[in-house]
Chain A
Amino acid sequence: DTGVSQDPRHKITKRGQNVTFRCDPISEHNRLYWYRQTLGQGPEFLTYFQNEAQLEKSRLLSDRFSAERPKGSFSTLEIQRTEQGDSAMYLCASSRGENSYEQYFGPGTRLTVT
């Protein structure tokens, strides 16, 4: 399967702990996006990369959040000092780039902060 993959699929952590999620995009897709979906809401944009460059960050992405895409391939999203409000589904998507409309999504990582 050459789709977008995310790891882990589920993560339960205690408040105050740090967590890191990984996203592997479709090969040769140079754009990568992170979204977050909380209960009852649609996914909300967090940040995106063009190759290794992080081009935009949402105001939702507080100082406790950091995302990287070091070699323009996989990406990581780290949350430091997790809070209960961070509990959500974290989705990753990738696309080919300019003039490509479609984003291909991974299955998401569900985070539960206790």
Chain B
Amino acid sequence: ILNVEQSPQSLHVQEGDSTNFTCSFPSSNFYALHWYRWETAKSPEALFVMTLNGDEKKKGRISATLNTKEGYSYLYIKGSQPEDSATYLCAFTTDSWGKFQFGAGTQVVVTP
């Protein structure tokens, strides 16, 4: 993997269902992996910063895992709500200067 890739590109979820999606990144020169939630007409909002292999982070119904050796991270949404509708971006950095390499995002639409 040379670039940051996210899959799927979009998904539709029924309210109350759980879902997950993937961010793949280069496994070499890893420094940190970031997850952002970006709602239309708003600023991207930081969800998690993950730095250690095996990291698991949780914020309410949203959680994330990190595998730096194989170069992937999963984001999970449990019991999806309409307010979870957004584009979820992951960003990979190779140093503390923080120049981000973003994936194209996963657009999540939660329908009531």
**Which residues of chain A are within 8 angstroms of B44 by Cβ–Cβ distance?**
91, 105
* Given A95-B98, A100-B98, A104-B46, 14 other A-B residues pairs in contact with their CB atoms under 8 A: A40-B104, A41-B104, A42-B4, A42-B103, A42-B105, A43-B100, A45-B99, A45-B101, A101-B51, A102-B49, A103-B34, A103-B100, A106-B43, A107-B41
Shortest Cβ distance from B9 into A: residue: A40
> Could you tell me if B102 and A4 are in contact, using CB atoms closer than 8 angstroms?
no
B36 in the interface, Cβ–Cβ < 8 Å? yes
| Interface residue range, chain B | 20 to 34
Chain A interface main SS type? loop
| Interface residue range, chain A | 20 to 34
A98 in the interface, Cβ–Cβ < 8 Å? yes
A69 in the interface, Cβ–Cβ < 8 Å? no
> Could you tell me if A45 and B42 are in contact, using CB atoms closer than 8 angstroms?
no
B29 in the interface, Cβ–Cβ < 8 Å? no
Shortest Cβ distance from B99 into A: residue: A45
Shortest Cβ distance from B90 into A: residue: A42
